[in-house]
Amino acid sequence: MANDQMMAQMSKKGGFIAALDQSGGSSPGALRLYGIPDSTYTDDQQKMFRLIHEFRVRIMTAPAFTGDKVIGAILFEGTMDGEVRGKPTPSYLWEDRGVVPFVKVDRGLEAEKDGVQLMRPMPQLDQLCERAVKLGVYGTKMRSVINLANRDGIAAIAAQQFEFGDQIARHGLMPILEPEVSIKSPDKKGAETILCEELKKLTDALPAGRQVMFKITLPDEPDLYKPLIDHPRCARVVALSGGYSRSEACQKLAQNHGMIASFSRALVQDLRVSMSDAEFEAALAQSIDEIYRASTAKM
């Protein structure tokens, strides 16, 4: 079954996950970096999403973007619902490229409280999960943010992630839980230590046969999350670039054994709309190779 093959790939295969899930709030920044100014689509959100989809299609159809090194891809909901070369995006990724599809499900962040930003309510979650299953998506991703080393706030973040993760798992989907620690936190190391403890406690309590994945900020202390990486109820721990440049993110990633990348900005930072296809594909291939090495060859 495809799901068994996807599970084996996500839990064991060397490589990394591409994060192609910029939403309405983050798409303008991604397009600016790509070389498309806001004035191109002023007050026309449909055009903005069309441009970001064209950018993603250019990435997904590039020769280097295959399951040999890119073992998974996280999609924005609109990208999941769209098409690539006449096929639904998840089908194209898995059947044509050998890349496991995920979908971002969160609806943004609440205001900060106790040093953290919880996820907003997700009344649409069940319907989105049902649609994702029909389209052949393997799993989901949802993000919340930790700004301070506040144990109450971090415990609330972890509890909310696991609560939604349980709801997602009931649809047969693999949840990626993403409690991001801001790299600007005044006590990033302290926040990460608390987070690791809270995630370990809740992972220990998962029912037999249930697994989750984690997407976390590259830690200040190398191998801090090794207890999660080695946990039988954790399928994989992946790292977000979090504002680090690709070279800095890869250097940090290579110090964390068993952790692989799930980079967004760091993956596409050298890609420009003005590039010829050959230039674009060469730049993307170089980025993929660099992130793959950091994900598989550890210090």
Give dist(CA 74, CA 263) in Å, integer.
10
Q: Which two tokens stand for residue 199?
A: 């995630």
Ordered alpha helix ranges (H), 82-150: 89-91, 125-134
- Answer left, alpha or beta for residue 163, where phi above 0 means left and psi between -120 and 50 means alpha: alpha
Contact by Cβ (8 Å): 196, 214: no
Active site residues: 178, 215
Ordered alpha helix ranges (H), 115-230: 125-134, 151-169, 188-204, 226-229
Query: Among 264, 52, 212, 54, which Cα is nearest to 291's?
Result: 264
Contact by Cβ (8 Å): 31, 52: yes
Tokens 């950091």 label which residue? 294
